[in-house]
Chains A and B, each alone.
Chain A
Amino acid sequence: MKISFNWLKEYIDLSGIEIQEVIDKITLAGLEIEEVIDQSKMFKNFVIGHVKEVKKHPNADKLHLCVVSDGVNDLKIVCGAPNVAENQKVVIAKIGAVIPENNFEIAKAKIRGEESFGMLCSERELNISSNHDGILVLDNALEAGTTAADAIGLNDVIIEVAITPNRQDALSHLGFARDVAAIFNRPVKFPSIDIEEINEESNSLAYVEILDPDLCPRYVGKVVKNVIIKESPEWLKTRLESVGLRSINNVVDVTNFVMHEVGQPLHAFDLDYLSDNKIVVKKAGDENSFTTLDSKKRVLQSNDLMICDGEKAVAIAGVMGGENSEVTSSTKNILIESAFFNPSSVRKTAKKLGLQTDASYRFERGTDPEITVWAAKRTAQLIQLTAGGEICKGEIDAYPVKFGLKQVKLRFERISKILGYDVPNEKVTEIMTNLGFEIVSANNESVTVTIPIRRHDIEREIDLIEEVARIYGYEKIPDIERVKVTLEPKFDETEFENKVRETLNGLGFYEIITNSLLSESVANQFGNSIAVLNPQNMDMSNLRTSLIPGMLTTISRNIKVKENNLQLFEIGKVFNKKNDLIKSFDDFSEESILMGIITGKSIDTDWYSKDSNYDFYDLKGYVYQFLKSITNKEILHSYNAEDSLLVEYSVILELAGEELGTIGKMNDDLISGYDIEQPVYFFIFNLEKLSNIPVEEKKFKELLKYPKVYRDLAFVIDNNITHNEVLETIRNGSSKLLHNIKLFDIFQSESLGEGKKSLAFQLEYFDVSRTLTEDEVEKDFKNIIKIVEKKFSAKLRG
């Protein structure tokens, strides 16, 4: 909302107060000023000029060479306007001036070979109207050299105020003035309405019937006869332009003016187009289409509240009037509407229609039903002032649902209890009074006030405490220097996640965060996805069921910029429907998932090793190291999982029968769909299951005091025998003295025979309580060789 200081000053005396001080204090009090337009600064370097001479430009038919006095010097200016003539008073944009229309800065220029020291401005260039037919020609009485800001009244300061949804009462100049008044302790001056009415009564010319009083508790009408519709006077245009409104005609402009003055949206009907001279306020019912005054056909719902006449709808209540009854140049008789509509009803209708107007914006925040009569009178007064006519006596006032006045008690002790500092009692009552809250009773403990209906946001003691705090000033709250520390048990629900992150960082993984919203087809590829009712676009219509698409998109994007070597992980939620209808938290799942990938090379330095491509064993190494850090458990059983469209091969990791996650290689077809041509190895874990693994408590193991004995051996065996099978056989066949078996070489060669490989192991023997003898180790070692040779038809090498 825009507030003009020139306009504001009509309602409050700001003498002796700097505008900047008003801006700073009102911002702190909760009416946030987002932008300040100081016209006098904006129109710096714009002065009134006297055109002394106009000649044709020698090189261009449409241009003129002018000599214009700025009061001190004669300036040569090239001008293209058709209406420029000698002895005019015009606005010169001198060198350094910035044209408001386009932020163009005027500099000395050569136009078709002729020098120019400025520009003569049109109304559009000055942002005061859309007129660009020629330059603005001013009253000849003006002195050359006067600043343009003063000469044409462009000396306003206009602010853009962000009004929070609870403060509809401040959505007008008078409303804004009330807060300024409370802060600076000065009175608000309402304009006096001194009108002469004819004897004919408004309610003899029009009738109002409210069929849905809950949706329209009050409807005030007033009639003005025999008006002449024409252009608005300058003062009215200036006011409307200052708040960013376009002038339409005198009557419509007056309704807009009064809305911005007092906050009551108003509508003017052409009374002669209302059949039966009747207003009926009712729901749309079967009527399902209506043309608003912007000539657009609107589709209605049966619950939308409409303003109708004797036979048809004439306005969508609180949103927009109809084309069929709008004020036109031939309008003679006016019915002014000044009503209060149910906020949530207006909001629903405006939302469904996708039509937010200045009126609906105010109605849906709750207007002031008590101001309706005043606003109708004020409108009539200004219509008469600008359009002539006769004001009919009295108002039609349909007020079926009265608003009870709220009384709220404020305990002084409660103020310091909530705010933590004392506000003097007299200051509290002064603030109440200045905000227009009537004091009903007061004593040493409390004050009871009546809340004006316009303050829909104030119902309770706490709301009054807020009023006291914001008007008295948050800056008066002391900077407290100590706080209590309570000793309730502490917890950190992100601790496990962070441990996972830090462990993976230590292994070289970068964390990524991807979008949780995917297209329907992608989301459904990995699960039973949940759709968003109102998505931004179809690429972001469903909740993700897997972290895979986000991860593959990330890999793909990186490969496109030649970042081929990647070690990434993401921790995020995935969502799956359990039932089609989501009525409770049981109807869907939301799980925390960890996914990581490796792809490309493990070492960036090519000169050292040409073959550092990541492979499955890199992945397995990372995963096992990770799991060991997280769980402090070393052994996790793994089984081959079934083939799928997602993976080339994979291994499921289990602990005590519970599936923890999967590791493997992504399916080539899947990743090539993301333009990825290099192998991608992945791991996916359910984070909650991981976090539920009981962490083996760390216990110190006594360091070995006796020497270890090592024995190496290598077997030639069939290719299809796995490392694990041999390992288990050795373990089962050995004595208790064998503690570790380490594979240190795998070797395949024709010299070993077809389909054969050599596995070389190092066996580690020791006893915690004594030194071993050569004999007992040798005996065990020989026994192992025998068993393995027998079981796998293996041969001991060398």
Chain B
Amino acid sequence: MELTGAEITIRCLQEEGVEYVFGYPGGAVLFIYDELFKQEQVKHVLVRHEQAAVHAADGYARSTEKVGVALVTSGPGVTNAVTGIATAYLDSIPMVVISGQVPTSFIGEDAFQEVDAVGITRPCVKHNFLVKDAKDIAGTLKKAFYLAKSGRPGPVLVDIPKDVSNQKAEYSYPATVSIRSYNPQVQGDIGQIKRAAQMLLEAKRPMVYAGGGVILSDASKQLTELVRLLGAPCTNTLMGLGGFPASDNQFVGMLGMHGTYEANMGMQNCDVLLAVGARFDDRVIGNVAHFNSVPRKIIHIDIDPASISKRVKVDVSIVGDVGHVVSDLLSVLNSSKQKPDATALKDWWKQITEWRGANSLNYKNSSELIKPQYVIETLHKITHGDAFVTSDVGQHQMWAAQYYKFNKPRRWINSGGLGTMGFGLPAAMGVQLAHPGATVACVTGEGSIQMNIQELSTCKQYNLPIKIVALNNRYLGMVRQWQEFFHGNRYSHSYMDALPDFVKLAEAYGHVGILVEKPSDVEGALKEAFARKDDLVFLDFRTDSTENVYPMVPGGKGLSEVILAEDL
């Protein structure tokens, strides 16, 4: 059957079961938009800026097990999308971005709205393609979806020149795909798994450190079973929150720069560390030399061989899909006669309980000023800990991570790797569309929300009843905190003057706005907002402007060199 490139593109999306495409039209994608118009199966969501299209596709992907899809035009369409693509890349989110390109005969001529999309996105995609013939579109899109979701997931860009989208070609969607140079390992090596099991059984002070790989692999059930079987404490990275239930007694909180005292001390002092789908990044283990100064055995499970022994040398490496490897590890442990050392574990937990006693997330509530931590705790209470929570980047992100106790995977949606301000609201749109009727909160700050505030318009168009919880402290809080700690209180350009009246702004976009200035109004305002099931509500919480995020392991320091709130 002969179809145009644009028809083929849409057929492929239908074949892949794509429910939503987030995009913005322009000259180079007009033929594709024309075909979108002629069908109903693939729904299009018109954003107000291409960055938001990619973040929305990202939020959609993170909150489901599906591949997010974005569609942008050539030139500025692509360059606007780059931040979103890099955000997805750093957090390994499965995504396909289709970009228009100038006609093939114009490529390289600095044509109107031309950029080298493949070149400009190359360092921040898993892979990308420029399609030069309509007959290659189906095969390329098939590969793109396969690459995006298999192995270590990631964004894949497919650049389609305008003439190719209008060119006719024979169409049939490939049933299978194989790429000779790409064969991700799913099953872990059983020999290595047995070695790991033995090491864990002999451990006196075991610790489980689980990251985003657990979420991506949908392995939280297996992980939870493993942690319970081992009797070990479990910490989650920022990306891994919800991978192990936060309300479980074996959970010691998030680790890293703003991790709990017990999680970081546990990491530093354990004798066997099991890393599951986590990559020892700088915000997690701080100073590598300091981390390595204490002897411990490390077992590392990761689907990406390049993540293993990148920053920290490990003793047992297991390359494979986290879900498969942990399941195999469980069977080996279950069939072993040896059991974890109960006496040693008792002593280990005694030590952990002592560290817990530092109560490192404690804060002094106030009846005068709204404490941001209190807002998050109340948000958790009002939503029964069951909301999808997206966030932007900064202090509010850390407070949300620390005080909203996630018991389920895929509920905590944030830009962990790239740290992209402006992520929260568009990501929430993707989440809300994926889960109509679910409670979706976007925890943000007055700085971050303004980076994609235009999406309030998209939310109106598609009736997305997101609850925006803005912790408005009139500062770029995390920058201000670093300036307070490390730059002699010189608050260079971290104060934001001339802020808009967010209540009026929300109203201008057709939403509801609520200003909250007193601690006693926090709970009532949240209740009122969440009771409005059909409305987007913008909650402008005027929070204590000088509050800092504790605990804090300053950049370049070791995990035990922590600043606690009470130290100051």
Q: Do A and B bind each other?
A: no
Could you tell me which B residues sit within 8 Å of A by CB distance? none
Instruction: Give the B-binding residues of A (Cβ under 8 A).
Output: none
